[in-house]
Structure 1
């Protein structure tokens, strides 16, 4: 079994990733979705938590030598901090917006100007929040070597957004790998697999069609 498949399997085992094409979840945006992903649950499982950091260490090598790690608030912070600790590197994190009091920081922690950073996120959907963090780091005169996340839905717009930002990214696992593993584990049927694949191709249209 590939590492990506193992990650997907373990996340499903603890219900960090749930698939329910018959009774979709409602996202904060209001869209209906057959998948719900909460990788924060992995933090409560020491064996899985350690396994994910092992995977992060391995994948981090793809981005070359870096001077530090930056986590995207909030879900990317614990994984980023654990990775930085494992690598013996400094750690900072990026808020979604500047703090409303004190020094009004958007970036917390300290790192030398020009430092090369690997950005850690837990989940990539459209890539918007993650790339906002990348932009903030670049404006602060840091170099971003790339973004590494646990999971991606594999939306084409995310790929396009990262390309437009000239920012490499990678993930430990992905939606296509998840579906293959879910099928192998008999977690979903062939009909459900088709429904889940249709959602990835156009989530908005799928949501509208399901609601109607």
Structure 2
């Protein structure tokens, strides 16, 4: 399959209210100037079906064998369920932390210990949340060596938090690819493109630059002539 896959990029880019001007803090601990919310794209039945079909193409192309689909709570749950339904496979979801009440489960749903699982989620950055998911899945008796996400946040595949967990990560492009696609097709402004470019190049430090933060402050006030209004 092509990487980046423009079908995935278009599904996100054409979603109404997909982007919200920040800054916002990500799960990985980074500050992002514009937050792109995958959950809104997964809320649309036609889009969700299209996402699932593309994920399934990859599963079949790579000949990935598994017994159960596991969605990462929460963004990975709708796409994981859609994939499971189309493939007629069991579906579960996994939390970063076990539930404190009831059965105190981290993995919810029916499965047997020893089953092989694929983990599905929306994005991956340095792997912080995926590390928690994988450890909980293995602790609860599932075997997992495959993660499939829609997009990765870094340009290069450098998942420092899960490097030692021996898992294969598949994606359909990077946040840079999405940023470039949206700017090229006028879904976002050139100013939004610049802000996101700073973030993807310097995720740990861009927010410490007063000039960049002033640029973001001024951008929030300006009229935005783009398809997404971002």
TM-score by length of 2: 0.78
Q: Is the contact made by 1:146 and 1:167 (CA closer than 8 Å) also made in structure 2?
A: yes
User: Contact 1:120–1:148 (CA<8 Å) still a contact in 2?
Assistant: yes
For the Cα contact (< 8 Å) 1:72–1:120, is it kept in 2? yes
Contact 2:125–2:159 at 8 Å: present in 1 too?
Answer: no
Kept in 2, the 8 Å contact 1:144–1:167? The answer is yes
> Which residue matches 1:71?
71
Specify whether residues 31 and 128 from structure 1 end up closer, same or farther in structure 2 by C-alpha distance, changes over 3 A only. closer
Aligned residue for 1:25? 23
Q: Residue 63 of structure 1 contacts residue 146 of structure 1 at CA under 8 Å; is this kept in 2?
A: no
Displacement of 1:141 after TM fit?
2.6
Q: Distance in 2 between matches of 1:190 and 1:134?
A: 38
Paired with 2:20 and 2:184, the residues of 1 have a C-alpha distance of: 14
**Structure 1 segment 114-193 matched on structure 2, within 5 A:** 114-154=114-154, 158-187=158-187, 193=193
Q: Which position in structure 2 is the counterpart of 1:202?
A: 202
Aligned to 1:4: 5
Query: What is the distance in 2 between the residues matched to 1:43 and 1:196?
Result: 22
- In the alignment, structure 1 residue 85 sits paired with structure 2 residue 85: yes
The aligned residue for residue 108 of structure 1 is: 108
In 1, Cα distance between the equivalents of 2:30 and 2:213?
A: 9
**Deviations 1:100-124 (Å, cap 9, x if unpaired)?**
2221111111212211110011221
Structure 1 residues 86, 197: CA separation in 2 closer, same or farther (over 3 Å shift)?
same
CA contact (8 A) 2:70 2:118 kept: yes
1:121 alignment partner, SS class: strand
Alpha carbon RMSD of aligned pairs, Å? 2.6
Residue 159 of structure 2: SS of its match in structure 1? Answer: helix
- 1:183 Cα offset (Å): 3.3
Deviation at 1:48, TM superposition (A): 1.1
Name the SS for the 2:171 alignment partner: strand
Paired with 2:50 and 2:157, the residues of 1 have a C-alpha distance of: 29
In the TM superposition, residue 65 of structure 1 has moved relative to its aligned partner by: 1.1
Gapped runs of 5+ residues in structure 1? none
